[in-house]
Structure 1
Amino acid sequence: MSFSADWLSLREPADRAARDDVLLHRAAAAAGPAPVILDLGCGSGSTVRTMAPYLPEGTRWRLVDNDPELLDLAKAAAGPRAETFCTDIADLDALPLDGVTLVTASALFDLVPETWVRDLASRLGVPLYAALSYDGAMRWTLEDPRDAAVTDAFNRHQRGDKGLGPALGPDAVTRSVAVLRDAGFEVSQADSRWRLGPDAAPLQRMLVEGIARAAGEAGMPEADDWGALRIERSTETTCLIGHGDILAVPRGTPKEERHALR
């Protein structure tokens, strides 16, 4: 699993606008007074840049990705104290969890299988902030009669193997919440849907290209025609793409720390 720097840069403002502010602030508080944050699938450092204003000076980041070029960008965002780990998140035993106070991930949990979430949860004794997981919902205005069929095909594709086994795809939020609760976490969730208007036409166009390609691979014969029309209409279209944020805190967190998370 890897994504281009261009795509990550284009989507970052939409991600930041979509994140639930309450959960973002609570996640920053959950990292504690001397944060050591492990960011899984860090990409170019979007989570670092988003959380930085809410974290104390001296926050230390451990950045994990399998793309060395993206790791360099993320390290530049996180500062000289950041550590980078060029490794695949499939190897949970290799994750540098010792001393970590918060684990973060963005736009990741929809790409992994439920077994991976369960195995990660079994290793964690600290809070987890997993933001911007796709939840299967798409709505477009102007509407097209093929929208529902394309969404269904895209969602089938999202449940395919992204390198770790059959992905949670549009079930990522609901299943991850259930797994984390079963593992002994108190879990809060919030909506973080994208709202992309004509001002986000370049992002819409790149998004539509990916949706149409995936829907076609999943057997939707009209996906290319749908995509061409959506791209043509991007300067007059608004779309809502569903995502969800999760904050999971281990049960038994001391009362004084729990108060800081409210």
Structure 2
Amino acid sequence: MTETFDGDWLALRAPFDAMARSAALAQRLSAMLPARPRLLDLGAGTGSLFRWLAPIIGRAQAWTFADADADLLARAFADTAAWAEANGFTVTAAGVAGSRALLIDTPSGAWRVDAVIADLAGAPETMPLAHTDAVVCSALLDLVSAAWIGRFVAALRTPLLACLSVDGRDAFRPAHKLDRVVSSGFRRDQGRDKGFGPALGPRAPAVLHEALAAHGFAVSSAASDWCIPPTAAAMLSALVDGHARVAAAHLPGRRSDIAAWEQVRLRQAAMARLAIRIGHRDILALPPAG
């Protein structure tokens, strides 16, 4: 059973995801795709990757959202329909995720979205990778194991755009003497089994790059850091709370220190005196010719 994610957290992070992802890699992917590409979004969540990438592709396209959480897929349909209407597009059909398609009529062509409930933690070769022109994902591959990556890449036959894998280049500003303690606990949690085996956490970009290159893929990458400014109080507070909560769970002997760190950081966030960078990388992989 894979770890589940709160839809409100995914909504809070969505604008920071959009600002961080590499538009240059997305444009390169778009240039490689056919006239009406079919894309598979693994771990689609609430559909934020579609809402960022579909306008970059900018032509008729068909997407399949794959996620283990039916409630998130239902929210993905609702959020995507609302987004489309807010952008002046016509939503011509919508239904419950997994039973009907969401059809969006845009000036650049029709965008079709359907969904499938999929156990992504199972064997990657059993996922719906066939009949697609590209596989995309966001904030997924740092949750999986090295063994899962190996099986997934071995089954991959199409371009891959993997966005927002953490790489460990995190920084809280201003610095605090307990940052290293909290970071130590947080890193332990990043390596916890999320349902795919021991998670790669910040090792994911390097492990993915190596596996793809070993199978003949041409691999490019770009930094895609979250840069959370002092004005983003809600996001800052959520990150502080999340770091403190998981660090304390893994370092019970330092709970009082971590609680003190959390109180300082929350006060700084409330006073617009805190900024956070969370390092990520995006990876684009193109399959070998022939």
In the superposition, the TM-score normalised over structure 1's length comes to 0.92
Does residue 88 of structure 1 match 2:119? yes
Partner of 1:259 in structure 2? none
The one-letter code of the counterpart of 2:26 is L
Between the aligned partners of 1:32 and 1:190, the Cα distance in structure 2 is 24
Give the alignment of 1:147-186 within 5 angstroms.
Answer: 147-186=179-218
Give the alignment of 1:240-255 within 5 angstroms.
Answer: 240-252=277-289
Give the alignment of 1:47-62 within 5 angstroms.
Answer: 47-62=49-64
**How many residues of Structure 1 are paired with residues of Structure 2 in the alignment?**
253
Secondary structure of 1:82's aligned partner? strand
Gapped regions of structure 1 (runs ≥ 5): 254-262
Listed one character per residue, the Cα deviations across residues 25-59 of structure 1 (whole Å, up to 9, x for unaligned) are 11233333211100000000011000111224431
Does residue 38 of structure 1 match 2:40? yes
Give the alignment of 1:1-262 within 5 angstroms.
Answer: 1-76=3-78, 77=80, 79-80=102-103, 81-91=112-122, 92-219=124-251, 221=254, 222-234=257-269, 235-252=272-289
Deviates more, 1:215-224 or 1:98-107: 215-224
Rg comparison, structure with higher value? 2
Deviates more, 1:23-32 or 1:194-203: 23-32
Between the aligned partners of 2:216 and 2:285, the Cα distance in structure 1 is 9
Between the aligned partners of 1:63 and 1:73, the Cα distance in structure 2 is 12
Between the aligned partners of 2:263 and 2:14, the Cα distance in structure 1 is 24
Listed one character per residue, the Cα deviations across residues 64-103 of structure 1 (whole Å, up to 9, x for unaligned) are 1111121123234273332211121022244222210000
Q: For the Cα contact (< 8 Å) 1:158–1:167, is it kept in 2?
A: yes
Between the aligned partners of 2:54 and 2:275, the Cα distance in structure 1 is 30
Between the aligned partners of 1:117 and 1:152, the Cα distance in structure 2 is 25
Secondary structure of 1:245's aligned partner? strand
Between the aligned partners of 1:152 and 1:137, the Cα distance in structure 2 is 13
Gapped regions of structure 2 (runs ≥ 5): 82-101, 104-111
When the two chains are superposed, the root-mean-square deviation of aligned CA atoms in Å is 1.5
Secondary structure of 1:104's aligned partner? strand
Between the aligned partners of 1:25 and 1:178, the Cα distance in structure 2 is 23
Partner of 2:85 in structure 1? none
Q: For the Cα contact (< 8 Å) 1:41–1:89, is it kept in 2?
A: yes
Deviation at 1:199, TM superposition (A): 1.6
Deviation at 1:112, TM superposition (A): 0.4
Between the aligned partners of 1:161 and 1:6, the Cα distance in structure 2 is 23
Between the aligned partners of 2:74 and 2:61, the Cα distance in structure 1 is 18
The one-letter code of the counterpart of 1:12 is A
Deviation at 1:238, TM superposition (A): 1.0
The one-letter code of the counterpart of 1:32 is P
Secondary structure of 2:232's aligned partner? helix
